[in-house]
Amino acid sequence: MEIGDKASAEDYYKRALTINPNNVSAAYSYALLQYRASKLPEARALIRRVNQLPNPAPDALYLGMCVERKLGDSASEASYVSQLKNRYPDSAEARAVPPGACE
């Protein structure tokens, strides 16, 4: 993904999730790839899976917030913002929450 080969990255993440459906790193990275490709329903499904696990990372909560913001689900967006600010108040992601932060 870092070198711009999105097709290979997508194949890699799909394989990784087939082998281990609980691979948080692959699910997050695949969600980010889908988000950047404007495949928002796919990104939502993946990031929700990540954020349902205990203690999701701040970057996963932030991505969830951004996905919901783009989909127009303000209640879900607010839930992610609340979790981010309550769990990780000093994180870079929590400080980046103001409107327009996902752009």
Number of H helices, E strands in the chain: 6, 0
CATH number of the domain that residue 35 is part of: 1.25.40.10
Tell whether the model's pLDDT for residue 103 goes beyond 70. Answer: no
Domain with 24 in it? 6-95
Sign of the CA dihedral running 63, 69, 75, 81: positive
Which strand (E) or helix (H) includes residue 94? helix 92-95
Whether 78 maps to a domain, the answer reads: yes
Whether 12 maps to a domain, the answer reads: yes
3-state helix, strand, coil in the chain (%, to 5): 70, 0, 30
Whether 101 maps to a domain, the answer reads: no
pTM of the complete model: 0.89
- The per-residue pLDDT for range 59-101, each reduced to its tens digit, is 999 999 999 999 999 999 999 999 999 999 999 999 888 766 7
- The per-residue pLDDT for range 10-55, each reduced to its tens digit, is 999 999 999 999 899 999 999 999 999 999 999 999 999 999 988 8
Query: Which pLDDT score is estimated for 98?
Result: 74
The count of domains in the chain is: 1
* Percent of the chain surpassing pLDDT 70: 92
